[in-house]
Structure 1
Amino acid sequence: MQIEQTSAGQDTGQPLLKVDDLALRFKGTKANVVDGVSFSVNAGETLCIVGESGCGKSVTALSLMGLLPMPPGEIVSGTALFNGSDLLALPSRALGNIRGNEMAMIFQEPMTSLNPSYRIGEQIAEVVLRHRKVSKSEARQRALKMLEKVKIPAAAQRFRDYPHQLSGGMRQRVMIAMALANDPQLLIADEPTTALDVTIQAQIIDLIRTLQDETGTALIMITHDLGVVAGIADKVAVMYAGQIVEQGPVEDIFDNPQHPYTLGLMSSVPSIGQRSGRLTTISGMVPTIDRMPAGCRFAPRCPFSAEACRLSPPPLTELESGHSVACVHAPLETHFAEVGA
């Protein structure tokens, strides 16, 4: 069987996906739920988007995939160039031809993403038939091959199972098989391990990383787990209240975090060594969409907040090559050294 291959992993010198100044709003709200978000992903690269629940990570991903209902959602501004085409401006039919083919998504809860009335093998085959000129027999062969590729035990037997007959970890493997069935150039994984136990989480992350290495697929991983970020990311974008507050190479974010929110996230992670006290917490809550501060959205929770922070939102400013932060105090070590002098 011959399945036409896409150009996953090819390096043209341009970002595979370039999102610029993306702003989204829901009907009847006073502020943008996603506000001025910009990032890029190159072929074969992994970008992790991190932040608390309610920070706009999933909404950003759904808007790129064309899965956010419009209305009540509304694109206020921005572009999302994928292979030179603006995803936000494409007609639904054109976007449907890209979705599941050149771009694919793994969702947080596979049981709500898989159709309970159809066998898992047929659901994967349907994705192949939608985008490839192959027979039903060839599509089923491709589906079986993908089940084997994601290490489903006894794949030929499982092919005929319904979703409820599989464990949570196996269902997530089916979702990965479905997402990668057409060798997409970009894979978006939205908290793909949240509903799984710790051991299975590690297996799923290792599987995604292995398959990515084999195919050269670019990956956007949405997560709140900094352990996952450290092990898989090339670049990191830290989101808070709908805005990217810091982004850069993973080494820079972990070794030299420059936004107070990033510092708070790092400090709240438990260490493996001996405990020396209580874990650090970030006081307060993420603001609701109708109570967004006028200035820096993190200011009400920030231990370094000053009057300037509350007057106007700080722009995302590059501190060094590829490392940008939205904070009037950055670089933190320089600012506080001057304040203490």
Structure 2
Amino acid sequence: MTDPSPLLDVRGLSIRVAGTAEPLVDNVSFTLNAGETLCIVGESGCGKSLTALALMGLLEGTPLRVERGSAMFQGIDLLSAAPDVLRGLRGDRAAMIFQEPMTSLNPALRIGEQIAEAVRAHRDIPRDAARARAAEMLQRVRIPAAGKRLDEYPHQLSGGMRQRVMIAMALANDPALLIADEPTTALDVTIQAQILDLMRNLGAETGTAQIMITHDLGVVAEMADKVAVMYAGRIVEAGTTAQVFDDPQHPYTLGLMSSMPSLAGDQGRLVTIPGSVPSPDDMPRGCRFAARCPFATAQCEAPPPLAPRGTGHAVACWHAPLEDFAVGQRREVPA
């Protein structure tokens, strides 16, 4: 019988820097089922990567700390698990792909050694078997002449090849959860498309659930089953890809959608969102988007809850649905 509980259940995750008034990541909650892809989208500095690092237990040794929350994954709370438990889990049942592979791969070790090391860290197998698994994974991520690439160093590979190596290493132990932090940002558009196609196909083949962190709405539209839009450390809108793209209800989501160029006809000047994301030491206590929002009112001085708007769709805005609020505002304008 299929387990109905989610693979990953994150509730109320908050991350703070000591001495700051407001948390950098505030009350973030979402669920992810086996085989699903969740895209977390937002501007740089909105807390996407911090959320991922907290889930992988990689905030230790930094001034950041998880203030509260839980993240249940296969019976383990990732936010409170002991370091040795997390070490046993990372690279095995849960894996992460980082944005820049050249800073993630060891420049002094051959590619085959690095993948084999990731396998032997979690599997009691001989070196030859681990090397064979490394070659198998390079073939799976469509690296040509995989046997030869095993003995090459990272600097001998292109950016796209290095990212494929990172994907191969992350998937070598068949993880149930894969977190990808901006995996295609440093790549040109052709290689980016190939990497996204590879990740989508591998996810379908292996059933691995994926959290993809990005600021690119094109990537979201292509990859996501579900979307969480983050702004200044809070999720402001969440739902299926169709719900968020077809019926965006948060002013920030609307701004992101309107700033995307289109190939369909002449759309004129792109919309811009005025202002910038508030700094960590000056976070507003109410709606963090209010200073940049065309719909802001006095009510926005209180933080809006992430409230449901139909099955699976939730929005943190006092004025949703925005179309009804905008009509009401027009009616209040004197003739």
Correspondences of 1:181-196 after superposition (within 5 Å) = 181-196=172-187
Where does residue 70 of structure 2 map in the other structure? 79
Q: Which amino acid aligns with 2:317?
A: C
Correspondences of 1:36-115 after superposition (within 5 Å) = 36-115=27-106
Per-residue CA deviation, residues 221-271 of structure 1 (Å, 9 max, x unaligned), is 101111111111110000000000000011000000000000000000000
Q: Which amino acid aligns with 2:222?
A: G
User: Which has the larger displacement, 225-234 or 100-109?
Assistant: 225-234
Q: Does 1:178 align with 2:172?
A: no
Cα distance, 1:31 vs. partner? 1.6
Q: Secondary structure at the match of 2:308?
A: strand
Quick one: distance in 2 between partners of 1:165 and 1:144? 17
User: Which has the larger displacement, 275-284 or 231-240?
Assistant: 275-284
Quick one: distance in 1 between partners of 2:44 and 2:328? 35
Cα distance, 1:70 vs. partner? 4.4
Where does residue 297 of structure 1 map in the other structure? 288
Cα distance, 1:75 vs. partner? 1.2
Counterpart pick for 2:210 among 212, 219, 237: 219
Query: How many residues get paired?
Result: 331
So what's the TM-score if we normalise by structure 2?
A: 0.97
Per-residue CA deviation, residues 282-336 of structure 1 (Å, 9 max, x unaligned), is 1110111011112100000001111111x21101000111100000001112222
Counterpart pick for 1:306 among 297, 313, 331: 297
Contact 1:26–1:71 (8 Å) recurs in 2: no
Structure 1 residue runs of 4 or more that deviate by more than 4 Å after TM superposition: none
Q: Secondary structure at the match of 1:183?
A: coil
Q: Which amino acid aligns with 1:318?
A: P
Quick one: distance in 2 between partners of 1:110 and 1:187? 16
Quick one: distance in 1 between partners of 2:235 and 2:264? 31
Q: Secondary structure at the match of 1:205?
A: helix
Q: Which amino acid aligns with 1:201?
A: Q
Q: Does 1:25 align with 2:16?
A: yes
Per-residue CA deviation, residues 58-98 of structure 1 (Å, 9 max, x unaligned), is 00000100111344111111000001210111100001111
Quick one: distance in 2 between partners of 1:143 and 1:68? 29
Where does residue 323 of structure 2 map in the other structure? 333
- Structure 1: any 5+ residue segments left out of the alignment? 1-9
Contact 1:58–1:190 (8 Å) recurs in 2: yes
Q: CA 1:16 to 1:235, structure 2 compared with 1: closer, same or farther past 3 Å?
A: same
- Structure 2: any 5+ residue segments left out of the alignment? none
So what's the TM-score if we normalise by structure 1?
A: 0.95
Q: Secondary structure at the match of 1:61?
A: helix
Q: Give the fraction of aligned pairs with identical amino acids, expressed as a percent.
A: 64
Q: Secondary structure at the match of 1:209?
A: helix
Q: Secondary structure at the match of 1:40?
A: strand
CA RMSD of aligned residues (A): 1.1
Contact 2:38–2:211 (8 Å) recurs in 1: yes
Quick one: distance in 2 between partners of 1:70 and 1:48? 27
Q: CA 1:62 to 1:306, structure 2 compared with 1: closer, same or farther past 3 Å?
A: same
